[in-house]
Amino acid sequence: MISRAAAFLTQTVALDDATVKFEIWDTAGQERYRSLAPMYYRGAAAAIVVYDITNPDSFAGAKSWVKELQRRGDPNVVIALAGNKADLESRRKVPFEEANAYAEENGILHMETSAKNANNVKSLFVEIAKTLPKDPQQPEREAFPITPPREETRNCC
Ligand SMILES: Nc1nc2c(ncn2[C@@H]2O[C@H](COP(=O)(O)OP(=O)(O)OP(=O)(O)O)[C@@H](O)[C@H]2O)c(=O)[nH]1
Ligand SMILES: [Mg+2]
C-alpha cells in the first residue's frame, strides 16, 4: 500500500447568507508524519481533529493535537473535535459528556460523527462554516528568498 502524508479534496457548503468552499487537507495521523503537519495547518482557517469514540488513546492523541493547534496554529483557527465511529455505540469508551466538556473548556466545536453512515459529517462542516469569520483577511504568506546553492558561491573567486 502506498502511504502518503496527506490527501487533498474540496467541499462546498451553502449557508443562508454565504457559500464556503473548503479546501481540505486530510493529513495522515501516523506518528512518523507528525513533523509534516505544520505545513498543512499553518495558515488554515479551520482544523478538524478526529478521534475514535471506541478508543481512549485516540482521544488522548486528539487532545495533544488540539494543544498543538492552539500553540502553533493561526490565532484565529477554528478547531473542531470530531468523535468518529458514533455508529459503534455498544463499543463506546469515550463518554460524549467528557469530550464535550473538554471542548467547552477549550472553546472549540465538538460533534460525534460516523464516516460509515455519514451521520453528522455535513453538519460538522456547516457548524465550522458558520463559525468562520465572514470576511476572512487574506493571510500574508511568507516570501521564500531564492538563494544560489552554497556550492556555487564557495567555488567562486
Ligand atoms: N464503524 C466505523 N468504522 C469507521 C468509521 N470511520 C472509519 N472507520 C474504519 O476505521 C478504520 C480506520 O479508518 P481510516 O479512515 O483509515 O482512519 P484514519 O484516522 O484516517 O487513519 P490514518 O490516515 O492512518 O491516520 C477503517 O477500517 C475504517 O473503515 C466510522 O465512522 N465507523
Ligand atoms: Mg486517514
The CATH number linked to 107 is 3.40.50.300
Question: Does some domain include residue 1?
Answer: no
| Beta carbons of 111 and 123 less than 8 angstroms apart | yes
Q: How remote is the CA of residue 145 from the centroid of ligand 1, in Å?
A: 40
Ligand 1 within 6 A of 116 CB? yes
Residue nearest to ligand 1 atom 27, measured at CA? 116
Which cell numbers in the block locate residue 49?
481533529
Beta bridge partners of 157: none
Statement: the pTM of the whole predicted model exceeds 0.75: yes
Q: How remote is the CA of residue 7 from the centroid of ligand 2, in Å?
A: 8
Which cell numbers in the block locate residue 42?
499553518
Question: CA-to-CA distance for 132 and 118, rounded, in angstroms?
Answer: 23
pLDDT of residue 29: 78
Q: How remote is the CA of residue 31 from the centroid of ligand 2, in Å?
A: 12
Question: Does some domain include residue 78?
Answer: yes
pLDDT of residue 89: 98
Query: Residue 40: which residues within 8 A CB-CB, separation 6 or more?
Result: 6, 25, 27
pLDDT of residue 5: 77
Q: How remote is the CA of residue 18 from the centroid of ligand 1, in Å?
A: 31
In which domain, by residue range, is 70 found? 7-131
Question: Does some domain include residue 39?
Answer: yes
Choice between 3 and 18, residue whose per-residue pLDDT is larger: 18
Question: Does some domain include residue 67?
Answer: yes
**End-to-end Cα distance, the chain:** 50
- Ligand at minimal distance from the CA of 49 is 1
Question: CA-to-CA distance for 30 and 5, rounded, in angstroms?
Answer: 9
The tens digit of pLDDT for each residue in 109-151 reads 999 999 999 999 999 999 999 999 987 555 555 565 666 665 5
Mean pLDDT, range 12-38, rounded to an integer: 92
Burial of residue 42 (CB within 10 Å: 0-12, 13-18, 19+) is middle
Question: Does some domain include residue 145?
Answer: no
C-alpha angle 124/96/5, rounded to 5°? 50
Question: Does some domain include residue 139?
Answer: no
Ligand 1 within 6 A of 85 CB? yes
Ligand 1 within 6 A of 114 CB? yes
Q: Count of domains in the chain? A: 1
Question: Does some domain include residue 13?
Answer: yes
Query: Residue 123: which residues within 8 A CB-CB, separation 6 or more?
Result: 111
